[in-house]
Amino acid sequence: MVKRIAWRAATVVEVRAETPSARTLVLDVPEWGGHLPGQHVDIRLTAEDGYQAQRSYSIASAWSAESGRVEVSVQRLADGEVSPYLTDVVETGDQIEVRGPIGGWFVWRQTSTAPVVLVAGGSGVVPLMAMIRARGLAGGRQPFRLIYSVRTPEDALYADELRRRAREDAGLDVHFVYTRKAPDDWPVPPRRLDVAVINSHGWPADFEPDCYVCGPNTFVETVADILVALGHDPKRIRTERFGGA
């Protein structure tokens, strides 16, 4: 029997600033049965007069039955309708409506042994972080490489956690690409993510890695095209487009 994915009233149990313009909401969702890394939820807001707005947000956390929590990380778009509400207005104790988990394609499964290339642009790191966390939680040995493109060092979500995980886990590489402003001690000037970066910091196509690309539409288009040009099988390239230009 098909079960309806119902809207549930989730309680915000913790709020964490990730960057000056992005925030993580830790949600307690009643009867949440777990999720796979890469899946998303839909969030629905309702105004006093009944007007509603819905948007999708990737799940940032790995599922664990003990915590039972669901985390989302939201990047503020200054002229946006929903994201500024989630980054600036919502407080601990508030309730928001959530449905999910949604999506069965842009997911990483622990049973897969293939090496993995993750390429993130901006807040596109969120579902990829869930994959890294899920692998960490399960003690997975699959070789993971993350290439993470951000405008400036201040824009990187989860930067400390990523560096710590990469340090402590020989199976995880993390490479940052800065497109506007690099840290002072960074070896190269700011630049766009290009073929050379993906070639040197991803896995060769011969290794047949599973590739996950997530971020704004144009970013995803560009990276997916580069991966195809580098010989990766299009069927192994999974994309999630967050919108925007």
Partner 1 sequence: MSIISRGFGGRRREPSPDLPPGQYLAHDFPVLSAGPTPRIPLDRWHFSIVTETGEKHTWNWAEFTALPAEEFTVDIHCVTKWSKLGTSWKGVSLDTLFEDVETAGDYAMAHSYGGYTTNVPLEDLLDGKAWIAYEYDGEPLHPEHGGPARLLIPHLYFWKSAKWVDGLRMMHEDEPGFWEDAGYHMYGDPWREQRYHGD
Ligand X SMILES: Cc1cc2nc3c(=O)[nH]c(=O)nc-3n(C[C@H](O)[C@H](O)[C@H](O)COP(=O)(O)OP(=O)(O)OC[C@H]3O[C@@H](n4cnc5c(N)ncnc54)[C@H](O)[C@@H]3O)c2cc1C
In the bound state with ligand X, the residue whose beta carbon lies nearer, of 130 and 174, is 130
Whole-number minimum distance, CB 51 to partner 1, in Å? 5
Region near partner 1 per CB under 8 A, out of 25-33, 46-54, 150-158, 187-195: 46-54
CB-hemisphere CA count at 13 Å for 86?
32
Which residues lie near ligand X (CB under 6 A)?
40, 55-58, 73-75, 77, 79-83, 123, 126, 216, 240, 242-244
H/E segment holding residue 133: helix 125-137
Q: Of 69, 51, 52, which is closest to residue 60 (Cα–Cα)? A: 69
CA distances from 130 to 9, 106, 147 (A): 22, 12, 15
Binding test (CB under 8 A) with partner 1, winner from 14, 154, 208, 225? 225
| Residue 231 found at the interface with partner 1 (CB under 8 A) | no
In the bound state with partner 1, the residue whose beta carbon lies nearer, of 115 and 172, is 115
Region near partner 1 per CB under 8 A, out of 29-37, 40-48, 166-174, 193-201: 40-48
User: Going by C-beta distance under 8 Å and a sequence separation of 6 or more, which residues neighbour residue 127?
Assistant: 37, 38, 39, 40, 58, 59, 60, 106, 212, 214, 240
Whole-number minimum distance, CB 148 to partner 1, in Å? 20
